[in-house]
Amino acid sequence: MVRIEGLDAAAEHIRRLGAGCALPRIVGVTGPVGAGKSTLARLLSGAVVSTDDYLPDYELVAEHERDESAHLDWPLLTEHLGELGQGRTAAVPVWSFQTHRREGQRVVHPAEVVVLEGIHALHERVREVLHVRVFVEAPAAVRWARWEHLERTGQRGWGVEKARAFFDGVAEPTFGRREAAYRAAADIVVINDGSSIRAD
């Protein structure tokens, strides 16, 4: 396992790993809420698929189960990764952080690097199709500060108080139950504990 300080250095290292490949390289990027998964994904590629987009409509499941991997639409996600891995476009769902349900679709075009990012991006259901597996870590206080920034600036739909309750009561324990397995599966661990406000 390789440990790398900072998202930019990690992106450069990962891009070098896939240089010259004939088919797209699929990179999985996981980590707890606010660690910087989405930021790293955007640094790596324009072809990004998020496990968030395969979540259930939140109103359909109990609050404490909303981020559990059992509720993800794994058949659809694996279908889309297969398409992108073969160099074909995929029409992926869009999950709204304002309404907390799926809202339409977007087209993802294949690229040399395709990124699957999200809290369950290194789950065993998709792990074998990943060429590079990345775990992004940051202290809880730093991660919450990033999420709080999103809520205070209106980029998410809950407001600070409700988001804090979800962070403490759902997001952290849900990821915590999988953290050891995801970390053990990673090829690269990225430390993203800087003070800049860059969030998932």
DSSP code of residue 24: P
> For 104-138, what is each residue's pLDDT tens digit?
999 999 999 999 999 999 999 999 999 999 999 99
Which residues, in sequence order, are CB contacts of 33 under 8 Å at separation 6+?
A: 119, 143, 147, 167, 171, 172, 175, 200
Q: What is the mean pLDDT of residues 142-166?
A: 89
Domain boundaries, given as residue ranges, for the chain = 2-191
CA distance 143 to 187: 22
**85, 114 contact by CB (below 8 A):** yes
Work out the pLDDT band at 197, boundaries 50, 70, 90: very low
Q: What superfamily would CATH give domain 2-191?
A: P-loop containing nucleotide triphosphate hydrolases (3.40.50.300)
Threshold 0.85, pTM exceeds? yes
User: Strand, helix or coil at 187?
Assistant: coil
Q: Note the pLDDT of residue 24.
A: 77
Q: What is the mean pLDDT of the chain?
A: 91
- The number of angstroms, rounded, from the C-alpha of 46 to the middle of its chain's C-alpha atoms is 14
pLDDT tens-digit profile of 10-57? Answer: 999 998 886 666 667 999 999 999 999 999 999 999 999 999 999 988
pLDDT band at 66 (very low <50, low <70, confident <90, very high): confident
Exposed e or buried b per residue across 76-97, where buried means at least 16 C-beta atoms within 10 angstroms of its C-beta: ebeebbebbbeeeebebbebee
**Residue recorded with tokens 């797209």:** 24
